[in-house]
Amino acid sequence: MSRIFDIVVVGGGMAGFSAAAELAETHKVCVVEREPQAGYHSTGRSAATFVPSYGPPAIQALARASEAFFEAAPNDFAAAPLLSPRGEVMMIGPGDEAHMAEGQALGLRPLPLDELKQKIPLMKTDALTAALSDDHARDLDVDLLLQGYVKLFRARGGTVLTKAEVTGFTRHYGAWQVQTSDGDLSSSMVVNAAGAWATTIAGLAKAQAIEVTPKRRSAVLLDLPESANVDHWPLCFGAGETFYFKPMGGKLMLSPADATPVEPHDAWADDMALAEAVEKFHNVIDFEVTHIGHTWGGLRSFAADGNPVVGFDEQVENFFWLAGQGGYGIQTAPALSRLSAALIDGRQIPDDIAAQGLEAASISPARFAN
């Protein structure tokens, strides 16, 4: 294998592979991933939803700009639809009414409680004062999307190095020497798509010290009786994102919506947070959870202002950030990867993304420069 590339992408999650696939059309690209397989960390642990009303305005713009791709990905990219109907419901309990306006501003519409009861017969609607809903929220097939990008990347001649940890960088005659546990690579450019480890990778490269903080989120799969028909339930969340549940593979995923800052690591679930989520679940659903099924934890990584960090570093040359996607890195991947490829090639933000109201400055590393 040749060890000389135009671009080395650090991180083989959704961010790394989607950007690498776009870049491989015109560049010689290598994705370097520490784990044995793609998507082992955050990408493989998501709630698999597309909720374009979720997150700060820059994220919403990127999700809207990704929707056309999700809806019409070519057959050789994804042999089945990437999106499928789900819907979402904001459950409003006593004292939560202040969140009504917030939800309505995001486009959620009032849902009469008797209609909610029809959708979810086990819902204790007496415990709620109101509900809002939005049918635009859909399930997103994360594995199909990731494998689509991996396939496209390989078809365009891209190289994948797994079980290879990036351990350091040096600059040599204007090129990057990338040290990995599987030998050195040489490259004109480095893309930092290391998820929870983005700040660590930037440190190794002596790039800007931008804090991208990993925050743990826990989840559990619950088994409900077949008669509950959970497959047809919408995603339901407590007003103010206090907890949520949604169908997943015939079971019900329940999450406390925790966001605990942690060091980057191979995350696991917080049992205490899960116990609190089960209590909240009991308050609104007439079903006694007696058995905790499969649990998992994942890291959602955020910059201080909640926007992603995408663009060239201000301190070292040819070091590109693609990090801080928070809880939205799957639903924004098509737009963020095209946007990254455009900026790396010295072009402007693609028109359709700019038309959604996204400004490069709002996500640029330059906003953290002194």
Q: Which stretch binds ligand FAD (CB under 6 A): 83-91, 191-199, 275-283, 310-318?
A: 191-199
- 33 near ligand FAD, judged by CB under 6 A: yes
Question: CB under 8 Å to 34, separation ≥6 — which residues?
Answer: 163, 164, 165, 166, 181
Question: CB under 8 Å to 197, separation ≥6 — which residues?
Answer: 11, 264
Minimal distance in Å, beta carbon 163 to ligand FAD?
9
The sign one gets for the Cα dihedral 308, 210, 204, 44 is: negative
Q: Given the DSSP bridges, would you call strands 235-238 and 88-92 parallel, antiparallel or unpaired? A: parallel
Reading the block at residue 329, the tokens are 């890195």
Which one of 27, 34, 64, 280 is in contact with ligand FAD (CB under 6 A)? Answer: 34
Closest by Cα among 306, 246, 244 to 60: 306
Binding mask 67-106 for ligand FAD (x = CB under 6 A): ----------------------------------------
Which one of 194, 202, 289, 339 is in contact with ligand FAD (CB under 6 A)? Answer: 194
* CB of 44 or CB of 93, closer to ligand FAD: 44
Q: Which stretch binds ligand FAD (CB under 6 A): 29-37, 76-84, 236-244, 354-362?
A: 29-37
* CB of 63 or CB of 128, closer to ligand FAD: 63
Which one of 7, 8, 15, 29 is in contact with ligand FAD (CB under 6 A)? Answer: 15
The sign one gets for the Cα dihedral 192, 198, 201, 207 is: positive
Q: Which stretch binds ligand FAD (CB under 6 A): 41-49, 130-138, 151-159, 342-350?
A: 41-49
Which one of 5, 12, 153, 202 is in contact with ligand FAD (CB under 6 A)? Answer: 12
Question: CB under 8 Å to 278, separation ≥6 — which residues?
Answer: 220, 254, 289, 292
Q: Which of residues 290-329 bind ligand FAD (CB under 6 A)?
A: 298-300, 325-329
Question: CB under 8 Å to 155, separation ≥6 — which residues?
Answer: none
Contact 38, 150 (CB under 8 A): yes
- 212 near ligand FAD, judged by CB under 6 A: no
- 35 near ligand FAD, judged by CB under 6 A: yes
Paired residues of 177 in beta bridges = 170, 186
Minimal distance in Å, beta carbon 226 to ligand FAD?
25
Which one of 159, 199, 331, 356 is in contact with ligand FAD (CB under 6 A)? Answer: 331
* CB of 15 or CB of 230, closer to ligand FAD: 15
- 202 near ligand FAD, judged by CB under 6 A: no
CA angle 212, 215, 216 (to 5 degrees): 150
Minimal distance in Å, beta carbon 55 to ligand FAD?
9
Q: Which residue has the tokens 């058995």?
A: 291
- 256 near ligand FAD, judged by CB under 6 A: no
The sign one gets for the Cα dihedral 6, 10, 14, 15 is: negative
* CB of 158 or CB of 327, closer to ligand FAD: 327
Q: Which stretch binds ligand FAD (CB under 6 A): 86-94, 195-203, 277-285, 353-361?
A: 195-203
Say how far apart CA 166 and CA 34 lie, in whole Å.
7
- 338 near ligand FAD, judged by CB under 6 A: no
Say how far apart CA 56 and CA 61 lie, in whole Å.
9
Residue 367 DSSP label? G
Site residues (vs ligand FAD, CB under 6 A) = 10-16, 32-35, 39-43, 45-49, 165-166, 193-197, 201, 217, 219, 298-300, 325-331
